[in-house]
Structure 1
């Protein structure tokens, strides 16, 4: 069974993530906050490093409920910095708390974070033509624009490379390679995508 060239198929949990989640369009705000938080934590590290700590992050960050995370106080932040189950980088932990508050502001303005996020691709996933590892960009013009707008709104650890990884993960772009079995499966689901104005 063919899969994307970036995937280390010797890691069963990595394969499961690729086969079940990566590139599937996400419109649930809590899930989008989860991805955004984990991708910010990934900065300078491999995605697999973060993936292995994902359950610990869910426990530490209140199931990725942005309302709860936005209320984390200094004592809670210090507690998180002692938690060996997550990446104990002070800037990243503080960014997650900050980003939760900014996330809620976007929800207030747009009705949902999904509506805000998906406007950058007009509500429709971009279908790319990737064949080999060298075909995958680190960032694009759209991730540049999305990143710049998030930074303008006060989000942290949302550079264009991080945001392109976010776009790939939550299906704003379909970057499964042309020979990957998941590419066409995900495309088949596009007929059921919600309209942007209903998000």
Structure 2
């Protein structure tokens, strides 16, 4: 079975793009490109946590609302959120109003501060889990690395951060090139990974 679908320009894209028109832009311009910016990494971990049990289309359509509600996912700002912020967010119709997930974002921001103190950056921590031998594209929803990272984060107090959530984060942030074989963007993502300087 083909892992690709025809894009708007007639070129093949990962098959999941066909689920929604807006996925093509996200796929072509973001998904699978390596990221070293702590704020973007933290945002993606939070959004993947919110996606748990929902569709990515739901989260992507609300992404700007999430950014506004959570101070652009600036780690120190979110870590300082209090009970009043939680109540504000629970009344924000632009986001997913799930108390446990909202509390998890605040908790995880505080945990991220600890990681940054220890490793120098969230990126340095995250990129130590880059796979040496990733699974064949589009064949897995977890990996040994996502299991290990999830386990370690949970040990450090993070919440809503299971292996599937972590693997989706790794796919999106370029820790693994999971663009389908035949996808027109796969080579571009591979080149960006080759040029990327892994944070240490």
When the two structures are superposed, what TM-score results if normalisation uses the length of structure 2?
0.91
Deviation string 1:15-70 (CA, Å, 9 cap, x unpaired) is 11011000000100000011001000000011111000000000000011010000
Aligned pair count reads: 190
> Deviation of residue 128 (structure 1)?
4.8
Q: Tell me if 1:8 matches 2:18.
A: yes
Q: 1:121 aligns with which of 130, 137, 141?
A: 130
Gap change, CA 1:166 and 1:195, over 3 Å in 2: closer
Alignment partners' CA distance in 2, 1:40 and 1:26: 18
Unaligned 5+ runs, structure 2: 1-10
Q: Give me the whole-angstrom Cα distance separating, in 1, the residues matched to 2:33 and 2:59.
A: 19
> Where in structure 1 do 4 or more consecutive aligned residues deviate above 6 Å?
none
Q: Give yes or no for contact 2:12–2:182 (8 Å, CA) kept in 1.
A: yes
Distance in 2 (alpha carbons) for counterparts of 1:190 and 1:141: 20
TM-score for both structures, normalised by structure 1:
0.91
For structure 1, the residue ranges without an aligned partner over 5 or more in a row are none
Show the counterpart of 2:155.
152
Spell out the pairing of 1:73-92 with structure 2 (5 A cutoff).
73-92=82-101
Once superposed, what is the RMSD of the aligned Cα atoms? 1.5
Q: How does 1:52-91 map to 2 (within 5 A)?
A: 52-91=61-100
Tell me by how many angstroms 1:5 deviates.
Answer: 1.6
Answer whether contact 2:42 2:73 (CA < 8 A) is retained: yes
